[in-house]
Chain A
């Protein structure tokens, strides 16, 4: 006996059953899937109910139902026993947190630096905007020069402002931007050098990377500010900020080199071979074939390094540079604004500023990663 079966019409797709779609199904699947899940969900809700109101009460200003003193308030309000965060203090000292000891009548100079920077970096980060090459040259070459002369003065009748007077968010941004931008090329070269077949180059790169990775940044900064002048010939001085910049850059480039090396090693050998077989020289195959792919693979690691670098800039305070955190710390002993919540409000503010920048970097990198994804298939 034999069977034959040929389907002559296809079954139409039907909508999913109600208990697999919609908010109730979502909650059941993600929050109450098992008894222990339900328990965890309930515990988490209790914890949130317990924690959120006091935090909100401390942070939110009085017109939003909290106990905090809003910007523009007076110090007496902050001294009340029931007062929350003293935002009035932050707004009153804001210019100190942004510019440090930069002379107030010259604030237009850092302001111009901020404005120019924003004007150049925003189109650089948006892929759709044209003139990328010009934009990049302006930002990476012209902008730093303009910034230096604007801030430092001494030209075009601008009065000189020594770097000791620079401070606050301005210095934090300068150190992290210079560190990030300069450590990329150095890190890439170190990573390539570490993979080199030439023994001397390879050894030098390995030694450099291992040396900087094995030393804490604080030590590097101390060495730069205390030890370095001892080795220099008498009478020569190198600017303190510049020394910190060099220290931070070299430190971060060693870390970056290891991240990039991971990307280089993850590429299949076939990519190197295909580039070679087409006659591309070492540098051309690196530039066109290897690095674009390797760097794309390690964007999360690179941004991780940048975020770490951004936060590590606060360590320069120990060599007497007034970055954002150091200005906050210095202002917290200000008698005029002394109140029970003065210090904690300052640190909250500093924490929020750091968080905003780091979170923005993180989001941007995730977005960039998705955009660059062309479907990894060899």
Chain B
């Protein structure tokens, strides 16, 4: 398994001292959830319980519904049946609840989705100021703190269009962190990046995991999954087919579909 296609910092040892998975506290609870796009049954009977502090990697072929699943968790997509409970709040059509959930759940997108008309600093402070009501000076201090954490404080007054893809994605992560979320969702955060920039983004994600952040990550970075995840979920055709700890998942996959998938992406 040593020749797996992985850009993650193999040389870096992950500090697991603060990675604690809670036994009692549930972060996200998905119960019997179904979703359709028109007549197309995208997600079928999803049951998933995410404990506080878990780091879950969701893998699977394209079109298997992995992105749709995590987009349901902050209701960028609506589900039609079953329950999704995030931080104890059930997601329904109620806008107040949706906003309450979104305030506590950060999301990072494949295409970064920074606001191109605002500077990096404005990108980071907009939501804290206008959603949380934090004074501007304090929001800017927090923003600079997180920009330092993702190692690009010198870019604060530039516009997103002036940054490289990897830098933009790190800004996007910092933007989510400025809202002090309890859960972070990553939707293929490295898929749109040049190979040289994947590492710098994964590096930030690893350090987040080291601090005990609850993370759900749709990704094809299997090296990251092995290093950081405590659970790998494999989806196909809108269903969770297999889930296991990474060691077992990679070395001893149970389902035929999983074996096929792994054999294809790990050469």
Task: Decide if A279 touches B127 in the complex (CB within 8 Å).
Answer: yes
> A270, A274, A276, A374: which has the most chain B beta carbons within 10 Å?
A274
Interface-facing stretch out of A58-66, A131-139, A289-297, A360-368: A289-297
CA distance A378 to B159 in the complex (A): 11
Residues of B within 8 A of A270 (CB): 109, 111, 113
Q: Are B175 and A374 in contact (CB under 8 A)?
A: no
A41 at the interface (CB under 8 A from B): no
- Which of A271, A279, A372 is the one whose CB lies under 8 Å from B131? A279
A376 / chain B contacts, CB cutoff of 8 Å: 116, 161
Please tell me if B126 contacts chain A, counting CB pairs below 8 Å: yes
Do A279 and B126 have beta carbons less than 8 Å apart?
A: no
Q: Is the CB of B111 within 8 A of A378?
A: yes
* B175 and A278 contacting across the interface, CB-CB below 8 Å: yes
Contact segment of A46-54, A247-255, A280-288: A280-288
Does B20 count as interface, using CB distance less than 8 angstroms? no
Please give the distance in Å from B28's CB to the nearest CB on chain A.
15
A276 CA / B74 CA spacing, docked (Å):
9
Surface stretch bound by A, among B56-64, B99-107, B139-147, B255-263: B99-107
Contact with A along B112-143 (1 / 0, CB 8 A): 11111100000000110011000000000000
Q: What is the bound-complex CA distance between A280 and B74, given in angstroms?
A: 13
Q: How far apart are the CA atoms of A268 and B112 in the complex, in Å?
A: 12
* Residue B22 interfacial (CB < 8 Å): no
Q: How far is the CA of A281 from the CA of B100 in the complex (A)?
A: 11
Q: Is B80 an interface residue (CB 8 A)?
A: no
Any chain A CB within 8 A of the CB of B152?
no
B179 part of interface (Cβ distance < 8 Å): yes
Q: In the complex, A296 Cα to B102 Cα: how many Å? A: 28
Q: Which residues of B contact A374 (CB under 8 A)?
A: 116-117, 159, 161
Bound: A281/B130 CA distance, A: 9
Q: Is A273 an interface residue (CB 8 A)?
A: yes
A279-B115 contact, Cβ under 8 Å, with A273-B109, A288-B126 = no
B127 touches A271 (CB 8 A): no
B-side contacts of A235, CB under 8 Å: none
Contact A378:B99 (CB < 8 A) given known A278-B175, A279-B127, A279-B131: no
User: Which of B102, B116, B130 sits near A277, CB closer than 8 Å?
Assistant: B102
Q: CB distance A274 to B179 under 8 Å?
A: no
Is A377 part of the binding interface, using a Cβ–Cβ cutoff of 8 Å? yes
- Which of B102, B111, B112 contacts A278 (CB under 8 A)? B102
Contact partners of A23 in chain B: CB under 8 A: none
* Residue-wise interface mask of B (152-168) relative to A, using a CB-CB cutoff of 8 A (1 in contact, 0 not): 00000001111000000
Cα separation A279 to B74 with both chains bound (whole Å): 10
B76 at the interface (CB under 8 A from A): yes
Which B residues between 175 and 228 are near A, CB-CB below 8 angstroms?
A: 175-176, 179
- The answer to whether B116 and A279 have CB atoms under 8 Å apart is no
Contact B109 A274 (CB under 8 A): yes
Q: Tell me, rounded to whole Å, the shortest Cβ–Cβ distance linking B187 to chain A.
A: 10
Our pick among A276, A284, A289, A296 for the contact of B115 (Cβ within 8 Å) is A289
* C-alpha gap A372/B159 in the complex (Å): 12
Instruction: Give bound CA distance, A293 to B161, whole Å.
Output: 14
| Chain A residues whose C-beta falls within 8 Å of the C-beta of B76 in the assembled complex | 273, 276-277
With both beta carbons as reference points, the residue of chain B lying nearest to A289 in the complex is identified as: B115
Interface residues of B in 237-258 (CB under 8 A from A): none
Whole-angstrom CA separation of A274 from B160 in the bound complex: 14
CA distance A268 to B109 in the complex (A): 13
Task: Let me know if A292 and B117 touch, CB within 8 A.
Answer: yes
Contact with A274, one of B99, B105, B115, B162 (Cβ below 8 angstroms): B115
Known A-B contacts A277-B102, A278-B131; A378 and B107 likewise in contact (beta carbons under 8 Å): no
Most buried by B among A268, A277, A280, A372: A277
Residue on A with the closest CB to B131? A279
B193 to chain A: closest CB distance in Å?
13
A216 at the interface (CB under 8 A from B): no
Most buried by B among A292, A372, A374, A376: A374
A378 and B116 form a contact (CB under 8 A): yes
A288 near B130 with CB under 8 A, answer yes
> How near does chain B come to A268, taking the closest CB pair, in angstroms?
8
A284 adjacent to B130 (CB under 8 Å)? yes
Smallest CB–CB gap between B64 and chain A, Å? 20
Binary CB contact string for chain A from 226 to 253 against chain B (1 if under 8 A, 0 otherwise): 0000000000000000000000000000
Q: With A274-B113, A277-B106, A376-B161 given, can you name 12 additional A-B contacts, CB distance below 8 Å?
A: A268-B113, A270-B113, A271-B113, A273-B76, A274-B107, A278-B175, A278-B179, A279-B99, A284-B130, A293-B116, A293-B117, A374-B161
Ranked nearest first, the 10 interchain pairs of A and B with the lowest CB-CB distance are A375-B161, A274-B113, A377-B161, A270-B113, A278-B127, A277-B107, A279-B102, A374-B159, A279-B103, A279-B131
- B-to-A contact residues, CB < 8 Å: 74, 76, 99, 102-103, 105-107, 109, 111-117, 126-127, 130-131, 159-162, 175-176, 179
A residues whose Cβ falls under 8 Å from a Cβ of B: 268, 270-271, 273-281, 284, 288-289, 292-293, 296, 372, 374-378
| 10 A-B residue pairings within 8 Å (CB atoms) | A270-B109, A273-B76, A277-B76, A277-B106, A277-B176, A279-B99, A284-B131, A289-B126, A374-B161, A376-B161
